Structure 1
Amino acid sequence: MASNSPYIVILVYPNYRMRNGDNGVTFECEDPILFRTQRAETLSDLRSLISSKLGGSETRKIGRVAYRLLAPMGNGVFRFQLFRLLGDEHVRVMFDVYGRIMVEQVMDLSAEVGHYDRPLAPPPIHVAVPVDEAEEGEEESDENYMVDSGDSDLSASGDQDECVPETPVPTVARHVLPPPHPIPALSAVPSHYHSLDLDAMHERTPFLDTGEEDYNLDGGVEFRVGHKFRSREAVLQGVKNYSIHRSAEYRVIESDRLKYHVQCRQAENGCQWSLRVALRQNLGYWEVRRVGGVHTCLAPTMSQDHRAVQASYHFKPSYRKVWTAKQKAIAQIYGHWEELYNEVPKLLQALQSYFSGTIFVLRVKPFYDGHLLVCDYSMFDKVFWSFPSCVKAFKNCKPFVSVDGMHLYGRYGGVLLIAVAQDGNNNILPIAFAIVESESTESWSFFLTNLRHHVTPQNGLLVISDRSQAIKAALSADDSGWHPPRAYHAYYIRHMAANFMTRFKSAEDKRYLINAAYSPNRAGYEWYMDVLRGVSPAMVD
């Protein structure tokens, strides 16, 4: 029965009760059995193993055995789902999955336990419930149904008003076993199964069989046989929401005024998910009649081809809806703007704690409610920071720094100011950063003063910038520390060439200007400038 595989810890729940919680399916019983064993190769061996661990003098009969396994629900959400063991192949796959992916986890099994002198389950009730795994294209006859006592609303007394033809349930009770649940090939198991965070895996909306209509309009629960929709439009919307929530795409197999049948687009790759909803004409609502399997395609994201997605879901959202959805997604991933501003001091203190020597200067300003000053609150104004590795590296860089700003496009805007240096291999090295409200003289003075004081105290530096008047005013301030001979100011040739081209509209003369700026000596510089002066004295003014 056992191989040379490592031992596996198994927890068996005899005559279990199954519940749906935040993490999916869970088992409950009064006396679960915990033991360690090696892998079993057949279903009969597994049943014998469970029977031997039950204890007692009398022999117990082991009926149906099932296990629970983490399955992806879309959008990074995982949930435990029930898988029944219906053959030897299922047993081998189960042990392979736990041996390769969840070797550190306890294997949870459920088992129906009884005596040989009495049946394991009460006689079946004559209720027709669709088999989950019926083949596509088969007629909806009684051969596609199994007996189940959990859906009394699908009894023979209420099936005469179903628009899809059905074979009446015979008077002789019989069981039709469902085919096995689809189990993904072990070679196709994604790598992220090897590092699962069980505490973080949850589903937003656990399934509750409340009997409410239009139950899946938020896409947060699985489809179940017997659930109802008020209209065909509600069916279409429910399927769209479910597919978007699961990051799965579907194709419509059949759609008319009486029924709606869809399946996963990855059906040819082995995914067995499908859904059939039909109109019950006498009762005036639509009802889920068949759910075929679960998604095993493990699609991490939906298609990024927006036209294909719109054609698939028959829905073209407006620009405002897409923008609003993006803002909600940003808030879910990163948090709300107001809350994150409150985290700025903690972030800076954490940087100092983990990167000793980190420099930061945080400025806040008073907060007013109308014309009243609120004493216990302050408002973010500006922040400067630099890392000790940047300060140390600049000592070995070329003696110049380039400064520029970049506008931020969040809710509250702002500008990111940055200073970069260049090493001997012409690699760019960022050395200082600041976030300010705008590129004003005050903001540039705040940034350049702290840059000079904390990062670049060396003499003889060259500061390169665009022709911003705010930068020029900040560098010219009496207390800036950027006056000759300690520092010099120059402009980006790219900005100068762009302005030159805008004014004089001459590509050839623009090249002369660039060559003058890159001349390695003064003689070469003067030669190019004389050429420009001969074309037009205004070009060199």
Structure 2
Amino acid sequence: MEGVANLRVYYNSKIITNTHEGVTFVCEYPLSFAIPCTMGFVELQNGLCNNIQSHILKRVSNLLYRSPVQVFGGLIQFQIIPIIDDASMQQMLYIYQQIRSHVPMIELYVEFEQQSGMRDINWEEDNNDSEDEFEANYEVDDKNDDGDLVGNPAVQDEANAIVSQHPFGVPSFMRTLDLEAMYPPEFSEYANTDDEFSVGMEFGSRESVISAIKSYTISRGVDYTVYESEPQTFYAKCKGYGAGCDWLIQASLIRKKACWEIKRYNGKHTCTMGTISQDHAKLDSDTIADAIRPLVEADPSIKVKSVIAEVQGKFNYIVSYRKAWLAKQKDVAKIFSDWEVS
């Protein structure tokens, strides 16, 4: 299998299982890598161990792929596929090559298991050129955390035994990779380096677009007015539009690509609105419910004051008792509904 694949790796991260896009990975600082499509499973494990917190002796205990699946209406949702051997890795790379025009990045969730009893390894010698061999770009993800998915290291014993026998070296052919040249046009053109939207940015669903706009607005202490909200388009402007700020955004459904795309964007807010000290209009009960769902799943009797504290920690806003209570009730209803269905 020829070509290069772009990876986004989430470590020390969380898995949200019930979003509008299906499964979502969440990590404060995800990493981006470029690898050849000929890479094997053990080679990938070596590279991840060598370049993520390389000072810690460890092995990969769980590796999950966020696999895109077309659903009703041609929209894309995501499900989990465990990557446990060369066969499952080649399946992942095959899916990527088939759908990369719509989903230009492979998203991987990785869990590590710390190793001991190998202190005689000369780490300085083995890892002295790791940055050149397997380059990574740090990126910030605005999404919030949620529930974990428990790994199953037993299925990887044989591969991990091989990894343990070697000092986590990166394959020699990776030293010649020109990582900057390997990024496909759709990735480099729409790369988001300052947490701003850009024309051409794609989303899997209408709900995910609106959620991203809400998160952007909440984090910056600004607000917007919806000018058009239809099944195939969403158009909003800053509340101060025409009075010192020209911020606007328009996203539309692109049926041929089975995704939503940013069609118009004016760039950063230029208004002088300060951070809202108490609450935010866009921090509604649905947004809060998504953020606190893992807490409610773990303890359906969680107190509302604990919900308020969690929201304050995540968003830096103090929401009303009623809004927090309503968000909790929505989560409880959804959780018990899911139990009944299953």
Richer in helix (by share): 2
Normalised to the residue count of structure 1, the TM-score between the two structures is: 0.24
Normalised to the residue count of structure 2, the TM-score between the two structures is: 0.36
Larger radius of gyration: 1
